[in-house]
Amino acid sequence: MAADAAARPSVKGFYEARSGSIQYVVADPVTRRCAIIDPVLDFDEKSGSIETRQAELILDHVKRNELTVEWILDTHPHADHFSAAAYLKEMTRAPTGIGCEVVRVQNLWKGIYNWPELATDGSQWDHLFADGEQFSLGSLEGRVIYSPGHTLASITYVIGDAAFVHDTIFMPDSGTARADFPGGDARQLWRSINTILALPDETRIFTGHDYRPNGREPRWESTVYEEKSRNSHVVGMTEEAFVALREARDRTLPMPKLILHALQVNICGGRLPEPEANGARYLKFPLNALKGAAWG
C-alpha cells in the first residue's frame, strides 16, 4: 500500500509492563475513526483481582482526541494477558474482531480444559476475518494477512502503511516470537514472517511485545526495511536454519505464567467466566496439561 499522507494512520502505542505487551489505537486523521488493537485487561494472578486500568488509559486517549471507535481487534488469543475486548465493547459499543481460524484454537483448548459446553464457532466475536479480507477504518483501507506459527489463529492487520504484526517478529534487536504453544509451528512462523516482509520496505511494523533487551526503553515500531536488514533471526537465514534456531530457543523458555489463566478468557473474546451461585467467578486449571515446567 502507498505510504503517502492519505494512507498513513496515526498510531498510539500503550506499553503494558507486566507482560511486555503493546496495545494500539490506530486512527484515521481525516475521519477520526479508530481501531483498538490487542487491548489488555489487568489481572493479578496472586490475588485473582481484575482491573481496567489499561483499558481506561485507552478510553481516555480516545476521548481526549475526539475519536470514534470503529473496531476492537485482537490479532490472536493471547497467552500472557487477558483481552479487554469484551470490556471495551461494553464501553464503546464497537464490534469486536479476530481471525476466523480462532475456531481451531477454541477446539484445541476445549479439549485441554475439558469444556464440553464451549461454543467453538467464533460466535464470541462480532466478526471473523479471513485471509486477504479487506475492511475500512474511516477513509483508510485495511486488509488481513493470515500469519500462523505463534498460534493457529494469528493474523496481521495492515491499515494504510502500518502493519500490526502481533507475535511474529519483534524489534530488530529482539528477533522473533516463540512457536511452541499448543498449535504453534516454527516453520509456519518463518513463512508468515516472510509474507509480512514482502510488504513495501517503508511499511511501518508495530510489534505485539517488547521485552527490553539489555534494559533499554520499550520500543515497538520499526519498518520492513529495518527488519530485513537488521533482525538477527532474519538476516542471512534459511527456513531450515530459522526452524532450528527457533525450536532450540523455545526449548529453553518456560510457559507464560498466565497461559492457563488467559486462554480460557481469551478464547471467549475476553469474556470472564459467568458468576456462580455465590456471585463469584472462577477460573479452571488443568494439571499437567502443558510441557515446559520451570522448577527452582
pTM for the predicted model, two decimal places: 0.96
Mean pLDDT value across the chain: 95
Within-domain flag for 1: no
Could you tell me whether strands 221-223 and 204-207 are parallel, antiparallel, or unpaired per DSSP bridges?
antiparallel
* Predicted confidence (pLDDT) per residue in 135-163, tens digit: 999 999 999 999 999 999 999 999 999 99
Within-domain flag for 274: no
CB 263 within 8 A of CB 109: yes
The CATH number covering residue 14 comes to 3.60.15.10
The cell 498513513 sits on which residue? 8
Low-confidence winner among 34-48, 101-115, 151-165, 282-296 (lowest mean pLDDT): 282-296
Within-domain flag for 293: no
Residue type, 276: E
Indicate the burial class of 4 (C-beta count within 10 angstroms; 0-12, 13-18, 19 or more). Answer: exposed
Within-domain flag for 277: no
- Residue 5: is its pLDDT beyond 70? no
Which string of DSSP letters, residue by residue, matches 156-186?
Answer: EEEETTEEEEESSB--TTT-B----STT--H
Within-domain flag for 252: yes
Cell digits of residue 213:
533487551
Within-domain flag for 62: yes
Parent domain of 234: 8-265
Number of domains in the chain: 1
Q: What percent of the chain has pLDDT over 90?
A: 95
* Predicted confidence (pLDDT) per residue in 173-190, tens digit: 999 999 999 999 999 999
Please give the span between the terminal C-alpha atoms of the chain, in angstroms, as a whole number: 49
